[in-house]
Amino acid sequence: MKCYSEKASILSILFMGLGQLYNRQFGKGILFAAVEILFIVYMLPFVSRGLWGLVTLGEIPQRMEAGKILPGDHSIFLMIYGIMSVLLLLVFAAIYVMNYFDARRVGEQRDKGKPVKNIINSIATLYEKGFPYLVLTPAGIFLLFLTVLPLIFGMLIAFTNYSGPHNIPPRALVDWVGFKIFMELLRLPLLRETFFGVAAWTITWALAATFTTFFAGLIMAVLINRHGIKLKRFWRTIYILPWAMPGFISILIMRNMFNGHFGPINRYLEFIGLPAVPWFAETEWARTTAIIVNLWLGFPYFMAMMSGVISGISKDLYEAADVEGASSRQQFWKITVPLVLYMTAPLLIMGFAFNFNNFNMIYLLTSGLPSNASYFFAGDTDIFLSWIYKLTLERSQFHLASAVSIIIFIFIAGISIYNFKNTRAFKEEGLIQ
């Protein structure tokens, strides 16, 4: 009994390309062998050094001898090189597995007495059946190193002591500390109070910002699409302008308008005999201001989306409701709202995730003010993302910022996945089994 497949499989495991050469596919075998040779000669030294750096994060810090600064190991660079080494190993392992299954498959064809394809036929088959993979593979490799690598790097920082002023490379090394920073978030009173205080406001802000813009957009869409309303295009154009303008410009303008000292809003209030309002000086006023400004900038998006949904609702439903004697209010709550929610629930979930991380609105409008003396580098209007920004760029607390980022990711991912799976729009037509 012939056993080409077994011999080809063993040879392909011993060295890439040997199985293909045994199967008399010389062009393919030379190509696989060349890949392994190039990896051993050029990439293996980099990979071995990178894995050493990922495990140790360096052994010799920057130091001074005889009045000269001698370079040392840079822990952060070593971590990045280490992650790159792991990803390169994964890519090489994928090619190695591909080499094994290819040699085994061709060997099985030889066992059955089928002819072996030459290099020209193999290329033709690859182009015919594997063209999508040829196009997607380069993009996947770029995604691996430009997106996955930074994500892994950001997560690993949470398990180190990378923070100022004592653990900043190159003058000092960074060490692995495991889950220490996560435990400190729960154990140390200052960090615990800051974390849960910022978390409470972040969730409140995300819910308020999402639902106010959602229902304001819904109401405006219903009013504009109401029968008998004239100049509908004019109203749609006017109300879409806040969303069409660059957001950071609008936010900075609003910040000046609500300024407690020279802002035109307080000036007008004083002109008509009312007291000035401490828009950014008191916690409740600052949070309310953020929600109001976000409402102004965010409702046009939902209005535009819901106008299309409302336009698609069959008029027969409303005519039937009129015949049954339903009022306009009843038609709104029994027909319009359920159908709009059915079609736009995914937008509501994505809006919550967006507002949960709406850094521009909070940082540009309030900068986290007013300050809170019981918080660790955070203010009363800081959300998680603005707090992370301050921890990293202003205070060099990279390990703490990374830990908070991981918690945010787990929370948002969990909420989004759960809600998407339980959204009826995603269950239709077998989109989610």
Q: Are 205 and 291 in contact (CB under 8 A)?
A: yes
pTM of the entire predicted model: 0.82
Q: Please tell me the distance from the alpha carbon of residue 303 to that of residue 307, in angstroms, as a whole number.
A: 6
Q: Please tell me the distance from the alpha carbon of residue 106 to that of residue 9, in angstroms, as a whole number.
A: 10
What residue has token string 């394809």?
117
Radius of gyration of the chain (CA): 30
DSSP 133-179: HHHHHHHHHHHIIIIIHHHHHHHHGGGB--BTTTB-TTTS---B-TT
For the chain, the domains span 4-177, 180-430
Nearest to 232 by CA among 219, 221, 245, 218: 221
pLDDT given at position 327 = 85
Q: Are 403 and 177 in contact (CB under 8 A)?
A: no
Q: Are 401 and 163 in contact (CB under 8 A)?
A: no
| Mean pLDDT, each 10-residue run in order, the chain (433 residues) | 81 93 88 94 94 94 77 92 96 94 89 78 72 82 91 95 90 93 92 94 96 92 83 84 86 93 91 92 95 94 87 84 85 86 82 91 94 92 95 92 93 80 56 40
Which CATH number among 3.40.50.1110, 1.20.1260.10, 1.10.3720.10, 3.20.20.60 corresponds to the domain 180-430? 1.10.3720.10
DSSP E strand stretches across 148-287: none
Half-sphere exposure of 394 (CA within 13 A, CB side): 10
Q: Which two tokens stand for residue 198?
A: 């910022």
